[in-house]
A and B are shown apart, each in its own frame.
Chain A
Amino acid sequence: MKFLKTDVLIIGAGGAGMYASIAAAQSGKNILLADKSLISRGGATVMAQMTVAAAVGHEEPDHWTHHLDDTIKSGQGLCNEELSSILCEEAVDRILEMSDWKTDWARKDNRMSQVMAPGHSVKRCCYVDFLNTGPAISRTLRGEVAKHSNIKRASGLNIIEIIVDNNIVKGAIGLDIETGSYITIDTNAVVLAAGGLTRIFSRNSASLNMGGDAYALALRAGAELIDMEFVQFFPIGHLAPRLVGMDPIMWDPFRYKLGGILLNGNREQFIENYGGADGKSYTVSRDLASYAIIKEVEAGRGSPNGGAWLSFEHVPKVELESAFGPIIKKLAVNNIDLTKNAVEVSPIAHYHMGGIKVNTKMQTRIHGLFAAGEAVGGANGANRLSGNAIPEAFVFGKRAGQYASEYTCTKTILTTSDGVSALSKVLTKHKIDNILIKDNNDIRMTSIMKKLQDIMWNDVGVIRTRKSLTNALDLINNLNVNYFSKILPPDITVYNKQLMDWLDLRNSLLCAEAVCLSAYNRKESRGAHQMEDIPITLTEFEKNQVIEMNDGCLLTKWENVNKIEFKLKKKLQALK
């Protein structure tokens, strides 16, 4: 087993992880930035084609407290308002800092262009043309990271376990995918910045590495998670015809700008039947649009592939060409001509509001364990305001990196044998199970993942019921007991995809259970958690649900929401 030593280990090299490493590097300490994919290329940030909310006030007068109001409203009573305040206030600094670092934000007359997005009270959302926000900010951060000689970048390093002793981080073990070897890492500060879990739903906008690694690592390390029942479904993800080379959530700004119309399988407008208004104004909320599409499909009125039609056929060609710009050509390559045909769309799992429970220093209850970005829970409550994901990556990344590098404790000495012993715990549990159950070579890891994704989509998706959630818990348990535990951990060799799948599944199954259990306990409908059989929001549930792992079992409890003190609210009012 190889051995490495670093002051701070950052897991995940998307927006949050890269920002954290840049901030941590200011301390002069040694930083190890690890990603199981390539630095800056895996994860959600690079895929983000859309907008970034920050109250820079270039387009019209704005203040971060207005952004906070909108964020809290969208979070429907569950925002950790302290975290939301930090997010909205510091988003402004981070966006301008990115500007200093030469991110090419769209501009008019030397001022940043900002657009309206659902849920915002003013034009607040910055972007890089055309649908290029994610790649542009990834490039900027990649360049900044490279300027720091004390940041060691490690592509293809999959961190599989945090080593904790007496609630203090001692180190981690990882798999070096490309050389096929396990590594022990001696460190006393770890930042979890490995994103969300949307890949565990069959319809998703996730990249390969968004199966919930950060949450599973946190749970096993002894940290708590919060609000895990809240998964944001994006209502009009692309479904058909096959579209490659584009983010599946690309239609939203165009629908907003051009008034794209949603039609069911019978080519009838249906949003009105569910109490929403469709058409030019596009005021229907994301939750309602998702709900309406799923209900139409259930009623047998879906589009051929199980979604709805999104039509721009009524929009003049000139208007389409001007709005879509070069995107028109990309669509043509995919045989999509919007003047002649509608496309099929469907709700897709897009973002996870839940996540690791942290304080304002991004610290968990485990000493030396920090989190950043989508991996953090709480700032967005029961539903995230559009445009808040990227600022969250920047703001929480910066904080986590800064506080992790400041963190000191009595340095424990980790040895390779500690790593070997931690690794054997990861691998043996399953070997013991396997002796008890007869060998089954026919079980594929890809098929278990597919089964898990279907369970989550069908029973824990846009519309849930008590019955669907108990059913899902049973099915996930069955996947664990009768499938996953029958598979021996694959042997380590260079670039072993089966070993990578096995490690992914181990995390995704745990996350799925956490989501289901939390959803089952919340016996109401609120924000992104919609219960068909309990369609009301209850004051008694205006609480956060906290989940932890104890002796291999998940335990939940309710906690009061962290609301900002009345006095502080007054002060914020005065600032406006």
Chain B
Amino acid sequence: MNIFLDNKNTTTLKVFRGTDSNINDFNFFEVPFNDGASILDALNWIRENIDESLAFRYSCINANACKECMVLVNGKTKYSCTTRLSKETTTIEPLSNKRLIRDLVSDIVPPKEKL
């Protein structure tokens, strides 16, 4: 249900892009701001409206049940599904202690669950 990201107030997300953690490549995205919207809502909004290639990991969408959507929000480890959007420009990066896969996706798969 995406009824929460349709008003005229906006905020900015500074989002890490790429597959090489040594290259500091960020995109700035202006996204709608609405009270209560989560970082995950905004990331999905970016995919639906600006750049479909942006990669991030999640499964349960909002329930905070799958625990897959961890990212760094202004340098702190957070679940993107339960962290609210801020009016200030917010930096979103992949987890720093895990191998980078692409954009905000890092390697959180337990070693015994890999092929």
- Chain A residues with a Cβ under 8 A of chain B: 2, 4, 37-39, 41-43, 46-47, 134-135, 146, 153-157, 176, 178-179, 183, 202-203, 206-209, 239-248, 305, 334-335, 444-447, 450, 493-498, 501
Contacts and interface: CB of A to CB of B under 8 A. Distances in A.
Contact of B65 (A39, A134, A154): A134
Contacts of A335: 35-36
Contact of B109 (A156, A446, A497): A156
**In the complex, the 3 A-B pairs of residues with the closest C-beta atoms, listed nearest first:** A242-B36, A155-B113, A245-B64
B53 A497 contact: yes
Interface string B74-115: 000000011010000000000000000111010111101111
Nearest to B37: A242
Chain B interface size range:
35 or more
B72 interface: no
Given A42-B66, A242-B38, A444-B52, 7 more contacts: A38-B108, A153-B112, A178-B107, A208-B59, A244-B81, A446-B52, A497-B54
Given A155-B109, A207-B66, A242 B61 contact: no
B58 interface: yes
B52 A38 contact: no
Given A178-B107, A501-B52, A46 B60 contact: yes
Given A203-B1, A495-B105, A37 B52 contact: no
Contacts of A305: 3
B10 interface: no
B48 A41 contact: no
B11 interface: no
Given A155-B110, A176-B115, A46 B65 contact: yes
Contact of A244 (B48, B62, B68): B62
Contact of A207 (B4, B19, B54, B61): B61
Contacts of A493: 102
B63 A247 contact: yes
Contacts of A497: 47, 52-56
Contact of A494 (B41, B68, B101): B101
Given A38-B68, A242-B35, A446-B48, A2 B115 contact: yes
Contacts of A450: 48
A37 B101 contact: no
A81 to B, nearest CB: 33
A9 to B, nearest CB: 13
16 contacts: A38-B113, A41-B59, A46-B66, A153-B113, A155-B114, A157-B115, A239-B1, A240-B4, A241-B35, A244-B84, A446-B48, A447-B48, A494-B102, A495-B101, A496-B102, A497-B54
Contacts of A206: 61
Nearest to A135: B65
Contacts of B67: 41
Contacts of B115: 2, 4, 154, 157, 176, 179, 183
Contact of B48 (A39, A134, A444, A496): A444
A494 B63 contact: no
Given A146-B112, A178-B107, A497-B47, A245 B52 contact: no
Contacts of B37: 242
A46 B103 CA distance: 26
Nearest to A490: B53
Nearest to B81: A244
Which of A155, A203, A246, A247 counts the most B-chain CB atoms under 10 A from its CB? A155
Nearest to A241: B36
A280 B56 CA distance: 44
A372 B106 CA distance: 31
Contacts of B110: 155
A334 B36 contact: yes
Nearest to A243: B62
Nearest to B58: A208
Contacts of B103: 495
B55 A445 contact: no
Given A146-B112, A202-B1, A494 B62 contact: no
Nearest to A346: B1
B65 to A, nearest CB: 5
B62 A245 contact: yes
Contacts of A46: 60, 65-66
Contacts of B102: 493-496
Nearest to B107: A178
Nearest to A153: B113
B111 to A, nearest CB: 10
Given A38-B109, A41-B59, A208-B59, A178 B35 contact: no
A446 B35 CA distance: 24
Nearest to B112: A153
B107 A247 contact: no
B78 to A, nearest CB: 12
B66 A154 contact: no
Interface string B11-27: 00000000100000000
A207 B113 contact: no
